[in-house]
Structure 1
């Protein structure tokens, strides 16, 4: 057990270093975007383009990431593994080409539909070019991660973000002070990374249409496609509701909050990248359930304290933004709860992936997405950004417990669902209490009181005693 924990710890630390680096670069870059673009509505426009591309990314991946993770560890010989990777690469790039053709044909109409303003189709052309190149980079880095070439993955990813940052700033300062300049800078930066990875790229870019392999991949992946769509609805459809019932300025403020809420991923993303190969490698180990139970509890506590820390210090962190963006601070910590839950479900869904019953993730997130849409219709017209924050948290909370319950039936881990729910409910209450204290300019010592009460409530249910006997 110690050796497995050592590997997870080492890889997680390296991935955490990578994500701290990339998030810090993004943290510096986003305020620069805001200063150069000036208007919150332009930031809102960029947010809408990025939201659309994120949905298209789900279509490109089409659940093949989980399928590849399973079959890559299922087969041991290099030749077979290479065939699976090439098949996935061929499939993904084919989808990118298809999407590009669609936008070439209906770009102006799609621009008017998505952005409620025509004349911006060129933004999507540039973004889709970046998507195609990033598809190549992402898959190559995924395989390097599966092979535990952690250092190479880390430094390549940080290098990509540094390139994007440097090229973006140069473009905004000297070449193209516009949204197009930002998007072209991204395109050029990712193209450079493709050249850096040219050796593995040459291998995996060779087209392969193996019907047998593709069928196996899609049979495993297809049940996850509705889940991917549901993820997008929960995480991104909020922007369209805010745009419909509010303004592009509101979208810009919400987008600002989303960017800062990703700070919580400084704690989680390193673990997230290391978790899949780590957990799959323990599939047949006798003591794995006990180990997973310990990790479930530890990750929940670490994430909770991370959210509360973000809530506590956000009014000072947001000062790096221009004044008209700073109102976003109040939404950051609540959104980070949903961001954490979107990570945590992956941790507690081990049984579903072990048993290949991935359809249950689609069912859970399909229901959660429907609930999210209903809640957006109910709350956004009345509360605008706060309305969509409510729907965001509620949807992930519901999906998490549906996934956890099913995973426990398929592969039991001695971990208490009640204590997990207890902790998350009080985390939500504590976070909102801190934000309320800050908005009302109440005595700052009350925030310390919130921290103490939360820790007492966690101790009441003995978070150090998460293990329960199976009946």
Structure 2
């Protein structure tokens, strides 16, 4: 058991370092981009990024989860490669379809959507980026499944460095426009694909195996609505806020959201390590005991992390200009929602083991509907707080539904009431800390919030669950 936890911890640390590196590079490059481009000139980059994120969901078609399942289920090396080849063929076929769709409908809305004279050309460039990223992403995914963690980390950070350097060079010396950034991304994508050409040649095939294709799509397609629902939840609030309120409030929310994603510096490392780790334990003895401990360990890390964010944000936000500093108050609760967005992957092993992935789609489709309705109701009266509430409530609804369903399919001996107590005490503490900071009350109240949280950890005896070993499995 210790060896398994050690592997998860080691891989998670390397992936976390990778994400720290890539995010640091991104944070450094953003002010450089805005120095070289005006705000109006930079705007299409944001729109292209949102557009590309949605297309990525369509290209993947849930095959990431399907491949994770069948890669570890199939023991024959050649059979595994057949699944990988079919996934590659599906994704490249989808990129071709999206190129055709762009060619057909792009001319009707590209310029007005991107507010650029070369809107259609920018869309074509985004498809080129998607093509090379699709190839590289699958090869890196397989390397993750082979637990070649260090290689994945090095190549991913290298890619981000290449994007930053080449985009800067194009903007500075060749093309002082959005195209310069996109050219940098395309060339970096080509270089990374060339770097991965040795493992890549094993996975390129233009044939579909009907049985394998059926396995992949049957497992993965039910997850596509969930992916699109994620996109709605993450992006719709910005559009509602911009329509119903002012651009200043959109900017404040954007700043808060950027800081809130910093919690992914920790969670994204675990997220990347979790899929191959959990699938590799599927048929191991005592795996349920292991999962129960991981559930609690990660929840403790997440809830503690959110409270830390709430406590230190008034000081961290000083890095921004004065007009942006009031955004600090939203960061901690947005971080809590961001944590839930990650945590559902941890507590849904039963759904993935039993191949009931439609449940994920149902959960997040429902969450997307809740999110949109709450945005419409809350934003007119509560502005950014309405966005925060809709974001958090929709994710809470989804994760509770997913956990209950997963437990019914594949019971993990972990206490729901203990997990709920930890999360909701953290939530109350976070709200209390922000209230104290906003009203300049005594810092002792912040200490009190921490004391209540630590006391909850003690009362629930989570430490006993982490130390002890259950001698039975209940269904």
Fold shared, TM-score > 0.5 on shorter chain: yes
- Aligned mates of 1:48, 1:460 — CA distance in 2: 48
- Aligned mates of 1:326, 1:38 — CA distance in 2: 22
- Aligned mates of 2:96, 2:319 — CA distance in 1: 39
Contact 1:365 1:399 in 2 (8 A): yes
Aligned: 1:13 with 2:20: no
Change (3 A) 1:38 1:419: farther
Residue 416 of structure 1 corresponds to which residue in structure 2?
A: 415
> Structure 1: 5+ residue runs without aligned partners?
none
- Aligned mates of 2:35, 2:324 — CA distance in 1: 10
1:281: Cα distance to partner? 1.1
Aligned: 1:161 with 2:175: no
Contact 2:41 2:177 in 1 (8 A): no
1:108: Cα distance to partner? 4.4
Contact 1:416 1:466 in 2 (8 A): no
Within 5 A, what are the aligned runs for 1:247-258? 250-258=249-257
Residue 230 of structure 2 corresponds to which residue in structure 1?
A: 231
Change (3 A) 1:107 1:406: same
- Which deviates the most, 288-297 or 425-434? 425-434
Aligned residue for 1:204, secondary structure, equals coil
- Aligned mates of 1:258, 1:45 — CA distance in 2: 19
Residue 27 of structure 1 corresponds to which residue in structure 2?
A: 27
Aligned: 1:84 with 2:80: no
1:142: Cα distance to partner? 0.3
- Aligned mates of 2:344, 2:164 — CA distance in 1: 31
Residue 270 of structure 2 corresponds to which residue in structure 1?
A: 271
Residue 352 of structure 1 corresponds to which residue in structure 2?
A: 351
1:350: Cα distance to partner? 0.7
Contact 2:44 2:116 in 1 (8 A): no
The one-character-per-residue Cα deviations of 1:204-236 (angstroms, maximum 9, x if unpaired) are 233222222111110111211221122222222
1:406: Cα distance to partner? 0.8
RMSD: 2.5
- Aligned mates of 2:379, 2:112 — CA distance in 1: 20
Aligned: 1:364 with 2:359: no
Q: What is the TM-score normalised by the length of structure 1? A: 0.91
- Which deviates the most, 448-457 or 141-150? 448-457
- Aligned mates of 2:194, 2:442 — CA distance in 1: 55
- Aligned mates of 2:442, 2:110 — CA distance in 1: 48
Aligned residue for 1:15, secondary structure, equals helix
Q: What is the TM-score normalised by the length of structure 2? A: 0.91
- Aligned mates of 1:10, 1:114 — CA distance in 2: 44
Aligned: 1:374 with 2:389: no
Residue 143 of structure 1 corresponds to which residue in structure 2?
A: 142
Contact 2:86 2:205 in 1 (8 A): no
1:463: Cα distance to partner? 2.8
Contact 1:31 1:321 in 2 (8 A): no
Change (3 A) 1:42 1:342: farther
Change (3 A) 1:90 1:167: same
Change (3 A) 1:427 1:35: farther
- Aligned mates of 2:381, 2:324 — CA distance in 1: 21
1:120: Cα distance to partner? 3.4
Residue 4 of structure 2 corresponds to which residue in structure 1?
A: 4
- Aligned mates of 1:300, 1:42 — CA distance in 2: 42
1:435: Cα distance to partner? 3.0
1:117: Cα distance to partner? 8.0
- Aligned mates of 2:174, 2:447 — CA distance in 1: 48
Residue 128 of structure 1 corresponds to which residue in structure 2?
A: 127
> Structure 2: 5+ residue runs without aligned partners?
none
Residue 284 of structure 1 corresponds to which residue in structure 2?
A: 283
How many residue pairs get aligned? The number is 470
Change (3 A) 1:306 1:255: same
- Aligned mates of 2:276, 2:452 — CA distance in 1: 37
